[in-house]
Protein backbone atom coordinates (compact mmCIF):
# COMPACT_ATOMS: atom_id res chain seq x y z
CA UNK A 1 0.00 0.00 0.00
CA UNK A 2 1.35 3.45 -0.89
CA UNK A 3 2.25 5.80 1.92
CA UNK A 4 0.02 8.68 2.95
CA UNK A 5 0.61 11.75 0.82
CA UNK A 6 1.35 13.73 3.97
CA UNK A 7 4.76 12.00 4.11
CA UNK A 8 5.77 13.27 0.67
CA UNK A 9 7.57 16.53 -0.09
CA UNK A 10 4.43 17.66 -1.89
CA UNK A 11 1.77 15.79 0.12
CA UNK A 12 0.08 18.41 2.30
CA UNK A 13 -2.67 19.26 -0.17
CA UNK A 14 -3.64 15.62 -0.79
CA UNK A 15 -5.83 13.17 1.12
CA UNK A 16 -5.46 9.40 0.95
CA UNK A 17 -2.87 7.38 -0.91
CA UNK A 18 -1.57 7.23 -4.45
CA UNK A 19 -2.49 4.19 -6.49
CA UNK A 20 0.45 1.75 -6.16
CA UNK A 21 0.79 1.56 -9.93
CA UNK A 22 0.99 5.37 -10.13
CA UNK A 23 3.45 5.34 -7.23
CA UNK A 24 5.80 3.14 -9.21
CA UNK A 25 5.15 5.00 -12.46
CA UNK A 26 5.96 8.34 -10.84
CA UNK A 27 9.09 7.26 -8.97
CA UNK A 28 12.60 7.94 -10.27
CA UNK A 29 14.67 6.64 -7.35
CA UNK A 30 15.63 3.53 -9.33
CA UNK A 31 17.89 5.62 -11.53
CA UNK A 32 18.31 9.08 -9.99
CA UNK A 33 19.88 7.56 -6.87
CA UNK A 34 23.18 7.75 -8.73
CA UNK A 35 23.05 11.51 -8.08
CA UNK A 36 23.21 10.93 -4.31
CA UNK A 37 26.55 12.69 -3.94
CA UNK A 38 25.47 15.72 -5.99
CA UNK A 39 22.24 15.94 -3.98
CA UNK A 40 24.15 15.90 -0.70
CA UNK A 41 26.64 18.51 -1.88
CA UNK A 42 23.82 20.78 -2.98
CA UNK A 43 22.01 20.41 0.34
CA UNK A 44 25.16 21.10 2.37
CA UNK A 45 25.75 24.31 0.43
CA UNK A 46 22.10 25.30 0.70
CA UNK A 47 21.94 24.95 4.49
CA UNK A 48 24.91 27.30 4.76
CA UNK A 49 22.94 29.86 2.76
CA UNK A 50 19.95 29.27 5.06
CA UNK A 51 22.13 29.89 8.09
CA UNK A 52 23.46 33.11 6.60
CA UNK A 53 19.86 34.20 5.94
CA UNK A 54 19.04 33.37 9.61
CA UNK A 55 16.48 30.79 8.53
CA UNK A 56 18.26 28.11 10.54
CA UNK A 57 20.48 28.51 13.58
CA UNK A 58 24.16 27.69 13.53
CA UNK A 59 23.44 24.67 15.70
CA UNK A 60 20.75 23.45 13.31
CA UNK A 61 23.08 23.97 10.36
CA UNK A 62 25.80 21.91 12.03
CA UNK A 63 23.36 19.11 12.82
CA UNK A 64 22.17 19.07 9.22
CA UNK A 65 25.74 19.06 7.92
CA UNK A 66 26.68 16.19 10.23
CA UNK A 67 23.57 14.30 9.20
CA UNK A 68 24.35 14.76 5.52
CA UNK A 69 27.90 13.55 6.10
CA UNK A 70 26.53 10.39 7.70
CA UNK A 71 24.15 9.87 4.77
CA UNK A 72 27.08 10.32 2.38
CA UNK A 73 29.03 7.68 4.26
CA UNK A 74 26.08 5.28 4.07
CA UNK A 75 25.82 5.75 0.29
CA UNK A 76 29.59 5.36 -0.10
CA UNK A 77 29.58 2.08 1.82
CA UNK A 78 26.52 0.79 -0.02
CA UNK A 79 24.44 0.51 3.15
CA UNK A 80 21.91 3.27 2.53
CA UNK A 81 18.44 1.72 2.68
CA UNK A 82 15.90 2.92 0.12
CA UNK A 83 12.37 2.67 1.48
CA UNK A 84 9.07 2.33 -0.41
CA UNK A 85 8.11 5.99 0.07
CA UNK A 86 11.38 7.29 -1.41
CA UNK A 87 10.14 8.43 -4.81
CA UNK A 88 13.40 10.15 -5.73
CA UNK A 89 16.88 10.83 -4.41
CA UNK A 90 15.81 14.12 -2.81
CA UNK A 91 13.01 12.48 -0.85
CA UNK A 92 15.27 9.59 0.19
CA UNK A 93 18.03 11.82 1.52
CA UNK A 94 15.64 14.15 3.35
CA UNK A 95 13.73 11.22 4.85
CA UNK A 96 16.97 9.71 6.13
CA UNK A 97 18.12 13.09 7.47
CA UNK A 98 14.93 13.37 9.52
CA UNK A 99 15.52 9.88 10.92
CA UNK A 100 19.00 10.93 12.00
CA UNK A 101 18.49 14.44 13.40
CA UNK A 102 14.75 14.94 13.78
CA UNK A 103 12.85 18.19 13.22
CA UNK A 104 15.72 20.41 11.95
CA UNK A 105 15.69 18.29 8.79
CA UNK A 106 12.34 19.85 7.92
CA UNK A 107 13.99 23.27 7.59
CA UNK A 108 16.42 22.22 4.87
CA UNK A 109 13.89 22.66 2.07
CA UNK A 110 13.02 26.24 3.08
CA UNK A 111 12.74 28.34 -0.07
CA UNK A 112 13.93 25.45 -2.22
CA UNK A 113 11.89 23.48 -4.74
CA UNK A 114 12.67 20.11 -6.20
CA UNK A 115 12.61 22.02 -9.50
CA UNK A 116 15.79 23.93 -8.73
CA UNK A 117 17.18 21.10 -6.59
CA UNK A 118 17.06 18.46 -9.31
CA UNK A 119 18.55 20.64 -12.02
CA UNK A 120 21.35 21.62 -9.63
CA UNK A 121 22.02 17.95 -8.94
CA UNK A 122 22.05 17.19 -12.64
CA UNK A 123 24.49 19.97 -13.43
CA UNK A 124 26.82 18.86 -10.63
CA UNK A 125 26.64 15.24 -11.77
CA UNK A 126 27.14 16.04 -15.45
CA UNK A 127 30.07 18.33 -14.67
CA UNK A 128 31.86 15.42 -13.02
CA UNK A 129 30.83 13.07 -15.82
CA UNK A 130 32.27 15.42 -18.43
CA UNK A 131 35.60 15.45 -16.60
CA UNK A 132 35.68 11.64 -16.73
CA UNK A 133 34.79 11.49 -20.43
CA UNK A 134 37.40 14.11 -21.25
CA UNK A 135 40.02 11.99 -19.51
CA UNK A 136 38.84 8.88 -21.40
CA UNK A 137 38.98 10.70 -24.75
CA UNK A 138 42.44 12.14 -24.09
CA UNK A 139 43.72 8.69 -23.17
CA UNK A 140 42.42 7.32 -26.47
CA UNK A 141 43.96 10.21 -28.40
CA UNK A 142 47.29 9.67 -26.64
CA UNK A 143 47.20 5.96 -27.49
CA UNK A 144 46.52 6.76 -31.15
CA UNK A 145 49.24 9.41 -31.37
CA UNK A 146 51.79 7.08 -29.81
CA UNK A 147 50.89 4.32 -32.24
CA UNK A 148 51.07 6.71 -35.20
CA UNK A 149 54.57 7.77 -34.17
CA UNK A 150 55.83 4.20 -33.90
CA UNK A 151 54.30 3.05 -37.20
CA UNK A 152 54.86 6.22 -39.21
CA UNK A 153 56.75 4.46 -42.02
CA UNK A 154 53.95 2.01 -42.83
CA UNK A 155 52.20 2.73 -46.14
CA UNK A 156 48.87 1.38 -47.34
CA UNK A 157 46.01 2.39 -49.66
CA UNK A 158 43.80 5.31 -48.82
CA UNK A 159 40.19 4.91 -49.93
CA UNK A 160 37.46 7.20 -51.23
CA UNK A 161 34.06 5.86 -52.33
CA UNK A 162 35.36 2.51 -50.96
CA UNK A 163 37.83 2.40 -53.87
CA UNK A 164 41.61 2.59 -53.63
CA UNK A 165 42.57 6.22 -54.12
CA UNK A 166 46.13 7.24 -53.16
CA UNK A 167 48.94 5.80 -51.07
CA UNK A 168 48.89 7.13 -47.49
CA UNK A 169 50.70 6.49 -44.27
CA UNK A 170 48.97 4.22 -41.75
CA UNK A 171 49.74 6.94 -39.21
CA UNK A 172 47.84 9.44 -41.38
CA UNK A 173 44.75 7.26 -41.12
CA UNK A 174 45.13 6.94 -37.33
CA UNK A 175 45.59 10.67 -36.85
CA UNK A 176 42.59 11.52 -39.03
CA UNK A 177 40.44 9.91 -36.35
CA UNK A 178 42.48 11.39 -33.51
CA UNK A 179 41.80 14.87 -34.91
CA UNK A 180 38.06 14.19 -34.91
CA UNK A 181 38.30 13.11 -31.29
CA UNK A 182 40.24 16.26 -30.44
CA UNK A 183 37.29 18.28 -31.75
CA UNK A 184 35.06 16.22 -29.50
CA UNK A 185 37.22 17.15 -26.52
CA UNK A 186 37.05 20.85 -27.44
CA UNK A 187 33.28 20.62 -27.86
CA UNK A 188 32.96 18.88 -24.50
CA UNK A 189 34.87 21.70 -22.82
CA UNK A 190 32.47 24.22 -24.34
CA UNK A 191 29.49 22.24 -23.07
CA UNK A 192 31.01 22.09 -19.58
CA UNK A 193 31.07 25.89 -19.50
CA UNK A 194 27.33 26.00 -20.16
CA UNK A 195 26.66 23.15 -17.72
CA UNK A 196 28.53 24.93 -14.94
CA UNK A 197 25.83 27.53 -14.21
CA UNK A 198 24.12 27.59 -10.80
CA UNK A 199 20.29 27.30 -10.86
CA UNK A 200 19.86 26.82 -7.08
CA UNK A 201 17.90 29.65 -5.51
CA UNK A 202 15.41 29.80 -8.38
CA UNK A 203 12.68 28.03 -6.42
CA UNK A 204 9.91 26.34 -8.36
CA UNK A 205 9.38 29.13 -10.88
CA UNK A 206 9.46 32.59 -9.29
CA UNK A 207 12.59 32.61 -7.16
CA UNK A 208 12.43 32.88 -3.37
CA UNK A 209 11.35 35.69 -1.02
CA UNK A 210 14.17 34.79 1.37
CA UNK A 211 17.58 36.43 1.24
CA UNK A 212 19.44 33.43 -0.15
CA UNK A 213 23.02 34.35 -1.03
CA UNK A 214 23.43 32.77 -4.44
CA UNK A 215 27.01 33.94 -4.69
CA UNK A 216 27.73 31.88 -1.58
CA UNK A 217 26.04 28.91 -3.24
CA UNK A 218 28.02 29.45 -6.43
CA UNK A 219 31.33 29.51 -4.55
CA UNK A 220 30.46 26.52 -2.35
CA UNK A 221 29.50 24.38 -5.33
CA UNK A 222 32.25 25.74 -7.61
CA UNK A 223 29.96 26.94 -10.38
CA UNK A 224 31.35 29.47 -12.83
CA UNK A 225 28.18 31.52 -13.19
CA UNK A 226 24.66 32.04 -11.81
CA UNK A 227 21.42 31.67 -13.76
CA UNK A 228 19.63 34.97 -14.39
CA UNK A 229 16.01 33.88 -14.88
CA UNK A 230 14.26 31.48 -12.50
CA UNK A 231 11.67 30.29 -15.04
CA UNK A 232 14.35 29.41 -17.56
CA UNK A 233 16.70 27.94 -14.95
CA UNK A 234 14.22 25.35 -13.70
CA UNK A 235 12.54 24.52 -17.01
CA UNK A 236 15.33 24.36 -19.59
CA UNK A 237 17.41 21.29 -20.36
CA UNK A 238 19.55 22.70 -23.14
CA UNK A 239 22.65 21.44 -21.39
CA UNK A 240 21.29 17.88 -21.43
CA UNK A 241 20.32 18.12 -25.10
CA UNK A 242 23.78 19.47 -25.94
CA UNK A 243 25.41 16.61 -24.09
CA UNK A 244 23.25 14.03 -25.87
CA UNK A 245 24.13 15.54 -29.25
CA UNK A 246 27.80 15.61 -28.29
CA UNK A 247 27.60 11.92 -27.40
CA UNK A 248 25.93 11.23 -30.75
CA UNK A 249 28.62 13.06 -32.70
CA UNK A 250 31.46 11.49 -30.73
CA UNK A 251 30.10 8.01 -31.38
CA UNK A 252 29.61 8.90 -35.06
CA UNK A 253 33.37 9.45 -35.20
CA UNK A 254 34.13 6.24 -33.35
CA UNK A 255 31.64 4.25 -35.42
CA UNK A 256 33.37 5.39 -38.61
CA UNK A 257 36.73 4.31 -37.25
CA UNK A 258 35.30 0.97 -36.12
CA UNK A 259 33.83 0.35 -39.57
CA UNK A 260 37.22 0.93 -41.23
CA UNK A 261 38.95 -1.38 -38.76
CA UNK A 262 36.36 -4.10 -39.33
CA UNK A 263 37.00 -4.00 -43.08
CA UNK A 264 40.77 -3.95 -42.61
CA UNK A 265 40.55 -6.99 -40.30
CA UNK A 266 38.63 -9.19 -42.77
CA UNK A 267 40.45 -11.98 -44.61
CA UNK A 268 39.82 -10.10 -47.84
CA UNK A 269 41.92 -7.17 -46.58
CA UNK A 270 44.06 -8.78 -43.85
CA UNK A 271 45.65 -5.43 -43.07
CA UNK A 272 45.40 -6.03 -39.33
CA UNK A 273 44.26 -8.46 -36.66
CA UNK A 274 42.44 -7.62 -33.47
CA UNK A 275 43.71 -8.92 -30.18
CA UNK A 276 41.87 -11.95 -28.82
CA UNK A 277 41.04 -9.76 -25.82
CA UNK A 278 38.70 -7.72 -28.02
CA UNK A 279 37.33 -10.51 -30.23
CA UNK A 280 34.87 -13.37 -29.83
CA UNK A 281 34.18 -16.65 -31.62
CA UNK A 282 31.25 -18.49 -33.14
CA UNK A 283 29.11 -21.07 -31.33
CA UNK A 284 28.99 -23.09 -34.57
CA UNK A 285 32.04 -22.26 -36.70
CA UNK A 286 35.29 -22.96 -34.84
CA UNK A 287 37.47 -20.97 -37.22
CA UNK A 288 35.66 -17.68 -36.70
CA UNK A 289 37.24 -14.69 -34.97
CA UNK A 290 34.64 -11.95 -34.81
CA UNK A 291 35.38 -8.27 -34.27
CA UNK A 292 32.54 -7.95 -31.76
CA UNK A 293 34.21 -5.04 -29.97
CA UNK A 294 34.09 -3.00 -33.18
CA UNK A 295 30.58 -4.12 -34.07
CA UNK A 296 29.34 -3.06 -30.64
CA UNK A 297 31.11 0.31 -30.89
CA UNK A 298 29.30 0.83 -34.19
CA UNK A 299 25.95 -0.25 -32.76
CA UNK A 300 26.19 1.91 -29.65
CA UNK A 301 26.11 4.98 -31.88
CA UNK A 302 22.54 4.10 -32.86
CA UNK A 303 21.58 3.67 -29.21
CA UNK A 304 22.84 7.15 -28.37
CA UNK A 305 21.20 8.70 -31.45
CA UNK A 306 17.90 7.25 -30.23
CA UNK A 307 18.30 8.77 -26.80
CA UNK A 308 19.07 12.18 -28.30
CA UNK A 309 16.19 12.10 -30.79
CA UNK A 310 13.76 10.81 -28.17
CA UNK A 311 14.60 13.51 -25.67
CA UNK A 312 14.35 16.23 -28.30
CA UNK A 313 10.85 14.97 -29.12
CA UNK A 314 9.98 15.28 -25.42
CA UNK A 315 11.28 18.85 -25.25
CA UNK A 316 9.60 20.13 -28.39
CA UNK A 317 6.09 19.60 -27.03
CA UNK A 318 6.55 21.26 -23.64
CA UNK A 319 5.14 24.59 -22.46
CA UNK A 320 7.25 26.94 -20.38
CA UNK A 321 8.94 26.06 -17.07
CA UNK A 322 9.08 22.71 -15.32
CA UNK A 323 6.88 19.79 -16.36
CA UNK A 324 7.14 16.19 -15.19
CA UNK A 325 8.05 15.17 -18.75
CA UNK A 326 11.53 16.39 -17.84
CA UNK A 327 11.94 13.35 -15.61
CA UNK A 328 12.96 11.65 -18.88
CA UNK A 329 16.14 13.74 -18.95
CA UNK A 330 18.07 11.71 -16.41
CA UNK A 331 17.81 8.25 -17.94
CA UNK A 332 18.90 9.65 -21.30
CA UNK A 333 21.81 11.51 -19.71
CA UNK A 334 22.94 8.55 -17.62
CA UNK A 335 22.65 6.05 -20.46
CA UNK A 336 24.57 8.20 -22.92
CA UNK A 337 27.30 8.80 -20.37
CA UNK A 338 27.59 5.09 -19.56
CA UNK A 339 27.64 4.20 -23.25
CA UNK A 340 30.29 6.72 -24.30
CA UNK A 341 32.38 5.94 -21.21
CA UNK A 342 32.45 2.25 -22.15
CA UNK A 343 33.03 2.85 -25.86
CA UNK A 344 36.01 5.15 -25.27
CA UNK A 345 37.65 2.60 -22.98
CA UNK A 346 37.06 -0.33 -25.33
CA UNK A 347 38.31 1.67 -28.31
CA UNK A 348 41.49 2.52 -26.41
CA UNK A 349 42.01 -1.17 -25.74
CA UNK A 350 41.43 -2.08 -29.39
CA UNK A 351 43.83 0.56 -30.68
CA UNK A 352 46.57 -0.31 -28.21
CA UNK A 353 46.53 -4.07 -28.89
CA UNK A 354 45.74 -4.64 -32.59
CA UNK A 355 48.53 -5.96 -34.81
CA UNK A 356 49.11 -4.66 -38.32
CA UNK A 357 50.35 -6.74 -41.25
CA UNK A 358 52.73 -4.30 -42.90
CA UNK A 359 53.66 -6.54 -45.84
CA UNK A 360 50.02 -7.08 -46.81
CA UNK A 361 49.25 -3.38 -46.45
CA UNK A 362 52.10 -2.39 -48.72
CA UNK A 363 51.35 -5.19 -51.20
CA UNK A 364 47.91 -3.67 -51.67
CA UNK A 365 49.52 -0.57 -53.18
CA UNK A 366 49.56 -0.43 -56.98
CA UNK A 367 51.11 1.90 -59.58
CA UNK A 368 47.72 3.14 -60.78
CA UNK A 369 47.33 4.85 -57.41
CA UNK A 370 50.07 7.23 -58.59
CA UNK A 371 47.99 8.54 -61.49
CA UNK A 372 47.48 11.82 -59.65
CA UNK A 373 51.25 12.09 -59.18
CA UNK A 374 51.68 11.64 -62.94
CA UNK A 375 49.30 14.55 -63.51
CA UNK A 376 51.27 16.64 -61.00
CA UNK A 377 54.50 15.74 -62.85
CA UNK A 378 53.03 17.09 -66.07
CA UNK A 379 51.89 20.26 -64.28
CA UNK A 380 55.45 20.83 -63.12
CA UNK A 381 56.47 20.55 -66.77
CA UNK A 382 54.14 23.40 -67.66
CA UNK A 383 50.91 21.60 -68.62
CA UNK A 384 47.59 22.96 -67.30
CA UNK A 385 46.17 20.70 -64.62
CA UNK A 386 42.89 19.99 -66.43
CA UNK A 387 44.83 18.79 -69.48
CA UNK A 388 47.30 16.88 -67.30
CA UNK A 389 44.42 15.15 -65.54
CA UNK A 390 43.03 14.01 -68.88
CA UNK A 391 46.39 12.75 -70.10
CA UNK A 392 46.99 10.81 -66.90
CA UNK A 393 43.54 9.25 -67.15
CA UNK A 394 44.24 8.14 -70.72
CA UNK A 395 47.52 6.59 -69.55
CA UNK A 396 45.60 4.57 -66.95
CA UNK A 397 43.19 3.42 -69.66
CA UNK A 398 46.06 2.29 -71.90
CA UNK A 399 47.70 0.37 -69.04
CA UNK A 400 44.39 -1.36 -68.24
CA UNK A 401 43.89 -2.20 -71.93
CA UNK A 402 47.34 -3.74 -72.07
CA UNK A 403 46.73 -5.47 -68.72
CA UNK A 404 49.96 -4.08 -67.29
CA UNK A 405 50.73 -1.76 -64.36
CA UNK A 406 50.83 1.96 -65.09
CA UNK A 407 54.55 1.98 -64.25
CA UNK A 408 55.29 -0.49 -67.06
CA UNK A 409 54.05 1.73 -69.89
CA UNK A 410 56.87 2.49 -72.29
CA UNK A 411 57.96 5.94 -73.37
CA UNK A 412 56.31 5.22 -76.71
CA UNK A 413 53.05 4.31 -74.97
CA UNK A 414 53.11 7.53 -73.00
CA UNK A 415 54.01 9.63 -76.03
CA UNK A 416 51.06 8.15 -77.93
CA UNK A 417 48.62 9.05 -75.14
CA UNK A 418 48.72 12.74 -75.88
- Tell me which residues are annotated as active site: 161, 282
Measured distance CA(58)–CA(193) in Å, rounded: 34
CB 304 within 8 A of CB 93: no
CB 201 within 8 A of CB 208: yes
The CA-atom distances, in angstroms, between 7 and each of 13, 14, 53, 142 are 11, 10, 27, 53
CB 272 within 8 A of CB 264: yes
Closest CA to 300 of 357, 330, 271, 257: 257
In eight-state DSSP terms, residue 373 is: H
Measured distance CA(214)–CA(258) in Å, rounded: 46
The CA-atom distances, in angstroms, between 369 and each of 11, 48, 163, 349, 356 are 74, 70, 10, 33, 21
| 157 DSSP β-pair partners | 167
Measured distance CA(92)–CA(85) in Å, rounded: 8
The CA-atom distances, in angstroms, between 250 and each of 122, 126, 306 are 21, 17, 14
Q: 3-class DSSP state for residue 240? A: helix
CB 274 within 8 A of CB 320: no
Measured distance CA(98)–CA(64) in Å, rounded: 9
Phi-psi region of 207 (alpha: psi -120 to 50; beta: other; left: phi over 0): left
Q: 3-class DSSP state for residue 1? A: coil
Measured distance CA(341)–CA(358) in Å, rounded: 31
Amino acid sequence: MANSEGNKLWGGRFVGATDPIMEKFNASIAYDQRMWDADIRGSKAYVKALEKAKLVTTEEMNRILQGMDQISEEWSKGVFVIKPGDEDIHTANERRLKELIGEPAGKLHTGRSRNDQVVTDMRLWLRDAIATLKENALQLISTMVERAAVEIDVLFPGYTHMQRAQPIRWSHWILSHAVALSRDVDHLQEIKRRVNVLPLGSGAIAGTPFVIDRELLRAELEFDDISINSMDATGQRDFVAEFLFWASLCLTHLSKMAEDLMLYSTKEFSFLALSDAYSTGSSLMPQKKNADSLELIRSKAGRVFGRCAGFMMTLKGLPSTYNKDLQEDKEAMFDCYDTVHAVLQVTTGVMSTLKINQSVMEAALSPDMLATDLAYYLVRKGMAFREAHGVSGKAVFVAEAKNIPLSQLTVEDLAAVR
